[in-house]
Amino acid sequence: MKGLFGFLLKKNKIESRDDQPDSMLFTTAFAGLGLDANLLVPWEARAVEVGATRLSPSRGTKLLQGLWAKDKYMHLLDQDAIGRLERFFAFATVAADRDIIRQNEYGNFMVVVLSGSIAVDRVQPWGERLRLAEATPGEILGEMSLLDSGMRFSACTTLGTCDIAVLSADAMDEMLSADPALAANLIALLARKLSLRLRVVSARLSDNK
């Protein structure tokens, strides 16, 4: 993680010159895997598909600040830092029984649950649908694919009307260029939460063999 911080800070110094391009670290990651771009499902397409409606950024940020202030890891981002995230997140309301994320698809965005709950399921090779968790307000979904551009591990379906905050790869790159310290802190916290979740899921899958 220390190496990552060094890379981000060094990257920002280089790109502060006028003749240097903005960050493309996350935006180009999917293409770097050599995959067909048509396989990628961005938030803009998913939002239209599920009929998402716009949530006021100020309302979304206020919810995010209240929720992450109580989170074991995310509270390390103070109120000012979370307030600065407003320009990079998209905020939306999604109706019940909508697949925000689908298993085995490629996506370049993550979701923060602001209100309501979202089922996290994985379909096993023999067809059984295993409920891994029910994400509640403050929890993060899809960060693994945002960080590594890999295939989605599970399906995430709204159990009722939900308010969500969405961070895309494009927005992550914009944050790296505009506010690298904030981006570095967010990435570090996401990595910690992701590691914990993977340990829990791995244990559950082992118990169900």
pLDDT of 159 reads 97
Q: What is the domain class of 2-14+49-207 according to CATH?
A: mainly beta
User: Where do we find the tokens 């602001």?
Assistant: 114
Strands (E), the chain: 40-41, 53-54, 90-94, 99-101, 106-107, 109-115, 118-123, 129-135, 140-141, 155-158, 162-168
Half-sphere CA count of 194, side-chain side, radius 13 A: 16
Q: Digits of tens for pLDDT over the chain (209 positions)? A: 444 434 344 444 434 434 444 656 666 666 666 666 677 889 999 999 999 999 999 999 999 999 999 988 898 999 999 999 999 999 999 999 999 999 999 888 999 999 999 999 998 888 888 898 899 999 999 988 888 778 898 999 999 999 999 999 899 999 999 999 999 999 999 888 877 777 776 776 676 66
Strand partners, 121: 131, 155
| 3-class secondary structure, 40 | strand
Domain range summary for the chain, segments of one domain joined by +: 2-14+49-207
Sign of CA dihedral 208, 159, 54, 182: negative
Asked if 176 and 136 count as a contact pair (C-beta separation under 8 A), the reply is no
Tell me the pTM: 0.80
Question: How is the chain split among helix, strand and coil, in percent rounded to 5?
Answer: 45, 25, 30
